[in-house]
Chain A
Amino acid sequence: GIQVEQSPPDLILQEGANSTLRCNFSDSVNNLQWFHQNPWGQLINLFYIPSGTKQNGRLSATTVATERYSLLYISSSQTTDSGVYFCAVENYGGSQGNLIFGKGTKLSVKP
């Protein structure tokens, strides 16, 4: 099956710093979502981005489908950005809704 690798596994930032999280996937996808899991376990959808670039406030994401990777940019980080960021993909031609998640990047933003 499709493999999803996220890097780095852990990231510690000072408040105000910028960061880039990476997601590599091993096959063609027709669905790619970035999620933020807060300390209480709630998964919040950040972007639906199987290709192209999107921006939402301090966050932006780019997926280069032909090269099988996606990047999540966080600018001017805040302590509330702490948590685990997951990339999840649905294999092109695979079963719908069977999102395959990476292991996540755990982000800690220090004040």
Chain B
Amino acid sequence: DTGVSQDPRHKITKRGQNVTFRCDPISEHNRLYWYRQTLGQGPEFLTYFQNEAQLEKSRLLSDRFSAERPKGSFSTLEIQRTEQGDSAMYLCASSWGSGANVLTFGAGSRLTVL
């Protein structure tokens, strides 16, 4: 068990470019979550998967955002046509959705849009 891994840890991009983040959850976890955290705030829920099915999406997830978990293992979060307001820490978490739903978070991917 190597924990939840996220890549890249830091990304600097120009406005209008597309970016993609990857999350590898804890291997035995069937649930995977994406959160976003801006400076001075707590994380905010974006979306969640159970296995490969995307079961819920927040209103924060605009049409420019898309998340996938094609084989129920790793997940990607893509942001198209980035805007300066997208600058944030993107956090991935996973859990074993049975009994106590304890989320384990990765170290995050910090996005800076210039």
Contacts and interface: CB of A to CB of B under 8 A. Distances in A.
Interface of A: 4, 31, 33, 35, 40-45, 48, 86, 88, 90, 95-104
Contact of A90 (B55, B101, B104): B101
Interface string B39-58: 01111110010000001101
Given A33-B102, A48-B100, 11 more contacts: A31-B100, A41-B89, A44-B105, A95-B56, A96-B31, A96-B48, A96-B97, A97-B101, A101-B44, A103-B41, A104-B42
B110 interface: yes
The DSSP consensus for interface residues of chain A is strand
A86 B43 CA distance: 9
B90 to A, nearest CB: 11
Contact of A88 (B31, B42, B55): B42
A33 B103 contact: yes
Chain B CB count within 10 A is highest, among A41, A43, A45, for: A43
